[in-house]
Amino acid sequence: MSIISGLRRRHTLLLLALVLVVAALALRSAPMTGQSGCAAPSFVRFTSFWDTTDFCMHTVPLEEIFSGGVPPDGIPPIDDPAFDSLEVAGQWLQPQSPVLSLELNGTARAYPLAILTRHEIVNDVFDDQPVAVTFCPLCNSAVVFDRRVDGEILRFGVSGNLRHSDLVMWDDLTKSWWQQFTGEGIVGSYAGTQLELLPSLLVSFGEFQQQYPQGEVLSPGFRGYGSNPYVGYDSSPRPFLFFGEPDERLFATERVLGAFLGGESVAWPFPALREAPVINDSIGDFEVVALWQPGQTSALDASDINSSRDVGMAALYDRELEGQVLSFALDAEGRIVDEQTSTRWNVFGTALEGELAGSQLRQHLAFPHFWFAWAAFRPETRVYGLPQ
């Protein structure tokens, strides 16, 4: 009896162990659920970081979102930025170095893309206005947002997830997911909430210096920047981690100046802008001018950013000034002038010399993006220079 009893005991233990193993595997493979009880996308099942994210609330199909291969804040945002003077910044930046320019409340700051490619988000404050300065290298998308939502100041991080190859951000209050390209909350308690976009420009460091002689530049601290981790990416025919079909009207990673105004989307390709650096156009009821000029290198081409090819810089402005609609052109010396007063203007939309000197054109929310990304988010877009 003792032998039989021992065999039964061993058999029971083996069965119990097998049950425990099967249960553990089932738990590991089961989709994680947040407090709402709704299942998370399958790629987050092995982490508890998103346990408070409300996956019942989403404005886009969850299957469109996927992991980019890094954990939350695996690409670390800058939460306590420090700034240098133009003189100090000039010790490592060149006149052609690409920077994101932002002017708020009388303060102008430049955020070098050499830093933003490594961090993607800077949580900053201008006086009492908190902002998120963001850059998605995969989409060449630089956008600035106000961080205030419903009376709360959010801190944004890099979720590690992508949608249409674009950075998906997360906030530290609700762990909602936000689309960097549009500023829309797409998953979680803030799903459907729209962040306020703020006008900014991608320009060269040299142009920033001229426009803002008292400007500040994001400090690299003790770390060396300037190399490009995405060598050759902006000439790639197949964007990284983009699983859709690129719109064939333009080369996938062609740069475009994209704008959405009056319910209409328009994209001005950089090659068209290079040929005609001043384009007077209309979007809905808006009379606009797209400006382009050379002098800014790509942050996503050669390994050394300052030695990369010149892709230029572009911006979009309203042509109406004090009740008058201006028409713009290049003069014989290649300078931007308006045809009504011959006043000279720059790429910042500032009147430099002439009758309207000191005037400022109203900047529209238009940003340089890679074509594939702009078309993925704005498939109905009109492309300047192409038949409709």
pLDDT-based confidence at residue 8 (cuts at 50, 70, 90):
very low
Within a domain: residue 27?
A: no
Over residues 24-79, the pLDDT tens digits come to: 333 334 444 555 568 888 888 657 899 999 999 999 999 999 999 999 999 999 99
The one-letter amino acid code at 74 reads: G
What pLDDT does residue 178 have?
98
How far is 36 from 326, CA to CA, in rounded Å? Answer: 54
Whole-Å CA distances, 386 to 217, 234, 278: 39, 22, 17
What pLDDT does residue 255 have?
98
pLDDT at 308 over 80: yes
Quickly list DSSP for 276-292: SSEEEEEETTEEEEEEE
Within a domain: residue 233?
A: no
How far is 151 from 134, CA to CA, in rounded Å? Answer: 21
Average pLDDT over residues 340-359: 98
Strands (E) in 52-128, as ranges, are 65-67, 83-85, 98-104, 107-112, 121-126
Average pLDDT over residues 363-380: 97
In angstroms, the first-to-last Cα distance of the chain is 90
Range of the domain at 138: 83-211
Q: Model-level pTM?
A: 0.90
What pLDDT does residue 44 have?
81
Asked which of 211, 228, 257 is the last residue of a domain, the reply is: 211
How many independent structural domains does the chain possess?
2
How far is 205 from 216, CA to CA, in rounded Å? Answer: 11
Asked which of 187, 211, 235 is the last residue of a domain, the reply is: 211
Whether 106 and 206 map to the same domain: the answer is yes
Within a domain: residue 68?
A: no
Within a domain: residue 115?
A: yes
Within a domain: residue 26?
A: no
Whether 250 and 368 map to the same domain: the answer is yes
Within a domain: residue 32?
A: no
Q: Contact at 8 Å (CB) between 35 and 48?
A: no
Give CA angle at 195 (191, 200), nearest 5°.
145
Within a domain: residue 327?
A: yes
Whether 190 and 315 map to the same domain: the answer is no
Within a domain: residue 53?
A: no
Whether 266 and 367 map to the same domain: the answer is yes
Q: Contact at 8 Å (CB) between 108 and 219?
A: no
Over residues 309-342, the pLDDT tens digits come to: 999 999 999 999 999 999 999 999 999 999 999 9
pLDDT-based confidence at residue 222 (cuts at 50, 70, 90):
confident
CATH number for the domain including 282? 2.102.10
Share of residues in the chain with pLDDT > 70 (%): 90
Selection from 196, 194, 193, 212 nearest residue 204 by Cα: 212
Q: What are the residues facing 293 on neighbouring strands?
A: 313
Average pLDDT over residues 156-173: 97
Whether 284 and 375 map to the same domain: the answer is yes
Whether 163 and 104 map to the same domain: the answer is yes
At 23, list the tokens.
Answer: 């249960």
At 101, list the tokens.
Answer: 């320019």
Whether 129 and 252 map to the same domain: the answer is no
